[in-house]
Amino acid sequence: MSLQRSARRYLQLDVFAERPGGGNPLGVVFDAVGLDTVSMQAFAAWTNLSETIFLLPPTTDAADYRVRIFTPRQELPFAGHPSVGAAWAAVEGGLVSAREGALVQECAAGLLPVRVDGGAGDMRVHVRAPRAREITKAALLHEAALRTALAKLPPGRQPPALWNNGPAWWVVELADGAAVRAMQPDLAAIAALTQASSAVGLAVYGRTDASDHQLVVRAYCPADNIPEDPVTGSVNACIAAQLAQAGTLPGRDGRYVASQGRELGRDGKVHVRVDADGEVWIGGQVQCVIDGRVDWPAQPGSVR
């Protein structure tokens, strides 16, 4: 096979996955120095993955590596599953090694602490999520739309609330995990609610006594043309913030595992940790599905 000299290392990962296909895919381009923003955006559009990231040397001594995160349409300042995948790739690819399990990621939103636990084959990466805050009175303001969106669903202990940790999510506890799995979402009503409240979507969760997870989560973004999102870092961070505030975190020592995506044929596992300072950490396992090289021009194509 002919290999051109401009080829860079490329991985396609499955994040929050215990087996290939279970999680959320991510494209990772190494050694991205020399690719301009237009080329990065063009490649992220071409992969058609929810996110493609580019690894770069840090611009500050305080960081171990730098990442730029692109959806097929735009660059993002921060996102959960791309950050987990970035840290995993930076360690596995030998770019960095963690000092006592700690790394610092530089991204457009700033410097982000990362934890790396376990060894080869069983490495788990956690990133600290931006602090979430509750938008108080939102539930009162949107009471009628909420009631319509949640009609006939068995309620849980926490009242529905709007939380923001970058994106804003409606967070709704249901009676238990089985109620979450059985939910038939009224997507039109959810779209109406989220549009009226400038939320990206609505998430439901319920407790379960399954052997390998303590929470069942589903997330819907019908107004963004994503009826249901398979595995969502920011949603899980908002839910953890609500549970921590209420003092009712599942699991033990502030750690639990959430299951998301089974209803879409995935099987994502999000490892959540709330530390002594109340910071929420989101992580999980990463599967390396594709390992190779990418040959993408540093200059964009003739038309774009």
Partner 1 sequence: MKRRYMQLDVFAGHPGDGNPLAVVLDAEGLDDTTMQAIARWTRLPETTFVFPATSPDASYGLRIFSPRREVPFAGHPSVGTAHAVLEAGIAPPRNGLLVQQGIAGLLPLRVEGDGATRTIAVRTPTARVMEVASAGDPRLQDALRGLPLGLLPPALMDGGRRWWLVELANESSLRAASPDWNAISRLAHDTDSMGVCVFARSDDPVYYLAVRAWVGAPAHFEDAASGAANATLAAWLASRDALPGDTGFYRVSQGREVGHDAIIELLVDDDGEVWSGGRACTVVHGDIDW
**Residues near partner 1, by CB under 8 A:** 1-3, 10, 14, 20-21, 25, 42-43, 45-49, 265, 288-297, 300-304
For residue 20, the minimal CB distance to partner 1 (Å) is: 5
SS3 call for 37: helix
DSSP secondary structure string for all residues of 234-282 = HHHHHHHHHHHHHT--SSBTTEEEEEE-GGGT--EEEEEEE-TTS-EEE
For residue 199, the minimal CB distance to partner 1 (Å) is: 24
Alpha carbons 59 and 63: distance in angstroms, whole number = 8
Which is closer to partner 1, CB of 46 or CB of 118? 46
Alpha carbons 234 and 129: distance in angstroms, whole number = 7
The neighbour count for residue 2, using CB atoms within 10 Å, is 5
Which is closer to partner 1, CB of 117 or CB of 291? 291
Do 215 and 209 meet the contact criterion of CB atoms below 8 Å apart?
no
Q: Which two tokens stand for residue 139?
A: 């539930």
For residue 230, the minimal CB distance to partner 1 (Å) is: 11
Which is closer to partner 1, CB of 40 or CB of 112? 40
For residue 267, the minimal CB distance to partner 1 (Å) is: 11
For residue 135, the minimal CB distance to partner 1 (Å) is: 33
Do 161 and 269 meet the contact criterion of CB atoms below 8 Å apart?
no
For residue 201, the surrounding DSSP H or E stretch is strand 201-207
For residue 103, the minimal CB distance to partner 1 (Å) is: 25
Which is closer to partner 1, CB of 250 or CB of 268? 268
For residue 45, the minimal CB distance to partner 1 (Å) is: 7
Which is closer to partner 1, CB of 119 or CB of 265? 265
Which is closer to partner 1, CB of 94 or CB of 292? 292
- Helix extents (H) in the chain: 37-47, 80-92, 138-141, 143-149, 177-182, 187-196, 233-246
Which is closer to partner 1, CB of 141 or CB of 289? 289
The neighbour count for residue 119, using CB atoms within 10 Å, is 7
Alpha carbons 38 and 145: distance in angstroms, whole number = 41
Q: Which residues contact 303 (CB under 8 A, 6 or more apart)?
A: none
Q: If phi over 0 gives left and psi between -120 and 50 gives alpha, with beta otherwise, what is residue 190?
A: alpha
For residue 298, the minimal CB distance to partner 1 (Å) is: 11
Which is closer to partner 1, CB of 41 or CB of 259? 41
Do 148 and 142 meet the contact criterion of CB atoms below 8 Å apart?
no
